């Protein structure tokens, strides 16, 4: 008899309150919406007493099946509950702001006889993707082998600061070619990221007479990029060339070309000099 009673107690305890999963999105988009989920199971002999949601330790949502109204929401900075779209197992948050980021906790309490309470947590980061592609500056449209490229990639107004990366002909720039800068904090709470690139142009960099630079800006699942193509400059230090674009050989004397007016004056001067010489 005692053994049977003990076995029954174990079964009842196993079938009591069980918190299966608390799901909080890792990222929430600025001005968007998210759903938080709290999945649990209960035994018929141990019904739900109350379910509560907290943000950074402050209660903002409560569901009580035995009290009317069942749902109550409480003012909390950065939290705007869409009550009509919320219920026992989920809460919808609307108008996500930068203050909405933080730690969220679901707390489930059973009614008598156990009055047990279980809880689970999750963190959310609010992201504000940049409104435009990153910009690459400091680049001339044509460069030659032996020149140094000094470029900047800038991604404006995001939260958090975008993670930037340079690529040269689709290959990630080496660590020694990268110059990192501290993000700039903007008055609206967003940040601007800047990454520098410094390298010596070599023959291997040109593919069919062109060099490609790419910069990527990544925030969570958000991804933007910018590409520019740089042409190879021909004969950067060449001497003045003669017609047909043939450069002069070393030691060659440049050929002088005269306008028609200059030529006539020269011929007239030569004729007068010759006439004066023979007349004497």
Cross-strand pairs, 166: 215
Alpha-carbon Rg for the chain, nearest whole angstrom, is: 38
Q: Cα separation of 96 and 80, whole Å? A: 8
- Cβ contact 41:18 at 8 Å: yes
> If you count them, how many residues does the chain have?
280
Per-residue confidence (pLDDT) for residue 235, from 0 to 100: 55
Per-residue pLDDT of the chain (280 residues; tens, 9 = 90+): 333 333 323 333 445 788 999 999 999 999 999 999 999 998 777 788 999 999 999 999 999 998 999 999 999 999 999 999 999 999 999 999 999 999 999 999 988 877 889 999 999 999 999 999 999 999 999 999 999 999 999 999 999 999 999 999 999 999 999 999 999 999 988 999 999 999 999 999 998 899 999 999 999 778 899 999 999 987 544 333 333 333 333 333 333 434 444 444 444 444 444 444 544 4
**Which fold does the domain 135-232 belong to in CATH?**
Immunoglobulin-like (2.60.40)
Q: What is the 8-class DSSP label of residue 152?
A: E
- Cβ contact 145:203 at 8 Å: yes
At which residue do the structure tokens 């909390």 appear? 76
Residues 6+ apart with CB under 8 A from 69: none
Pairing of β 90-93 and β 34-41: antiparallel
Per-residue confidence (pLDDT) for residue 15, from 0 to 100: 54
Per-residue confidence (pLDDT) for residue 208, from 0 to 100: 87
Q: Cα separation of 271 and 262, whole Å? A: 14
Per-residue confidence (pLDDT) for residue 278, from 0 to 100: 46
Query: CATH 2.60.40.10 spans which residues of the chain?
Result: 15-127, 135-232
The residue among 224, 220, 223, 222 whose CA lies nearest residue 26 is 220
**Which fold does the domain 15-127 belong to in CATH?**
Immunoglobulin-like (2.60.40)
């Amino acid at each position: 008899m005692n053994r049977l009673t003990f076995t029954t107690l174990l079964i009842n305890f196993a079938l009591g309150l069980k918190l299966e999963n608390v799901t909080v999105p890792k990222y929430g988009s600025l001005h968007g919406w998210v759903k938080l989920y709290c999945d649990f199971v209960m035994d018929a002999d141990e019904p739900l007493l109350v379910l509560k949601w907290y943000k950074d330790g402050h209660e903002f949502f409560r569901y009580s099946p035995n009290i009317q109204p069942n749902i109550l929401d409480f003012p909390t900075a950065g939290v705007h509950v869409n009550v009509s779209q919320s219920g026992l197992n989920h809460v919808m948050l609307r108008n996500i702001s930068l203050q909405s980021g933080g730690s969220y906790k679901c707390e489930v309490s059973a009614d008598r006889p156990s009055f047990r309470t279980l809880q689970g947590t999750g963190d959310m980061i609010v992201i504000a993707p940049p409104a435009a592609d990153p910009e690459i500056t400091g680049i001339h449209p044509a460069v030659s082998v032996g020149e140094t490229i000094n470029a900047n990639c800038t991604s404006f107004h995001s939260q958090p600061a975008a993670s930037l990366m340079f690529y040269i002909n689709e290959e990630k720039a080496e660590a020694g070619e990268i110059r990192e800068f501290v993000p700039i904090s903007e008055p609206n709470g967003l940040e601007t990221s800047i990454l520098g690139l410094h390298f010596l142009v070599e023959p291997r960099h040109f593919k069919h007479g062109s060099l490609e630079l790419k910069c990527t800006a990544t925030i969570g699942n958000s991804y933007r990029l910018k590409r520019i193509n740089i042409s190879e400059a021909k004969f950067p230090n060449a001497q003045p060339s003669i017609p047909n674009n043939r450069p002069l050989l070393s030691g060659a004397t440049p050929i002088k070309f005269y306008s028609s007016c200059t030529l006539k004056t020269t011929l007239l001067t030569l004729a007068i000099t010759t006439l004066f010489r023979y007349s004497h």
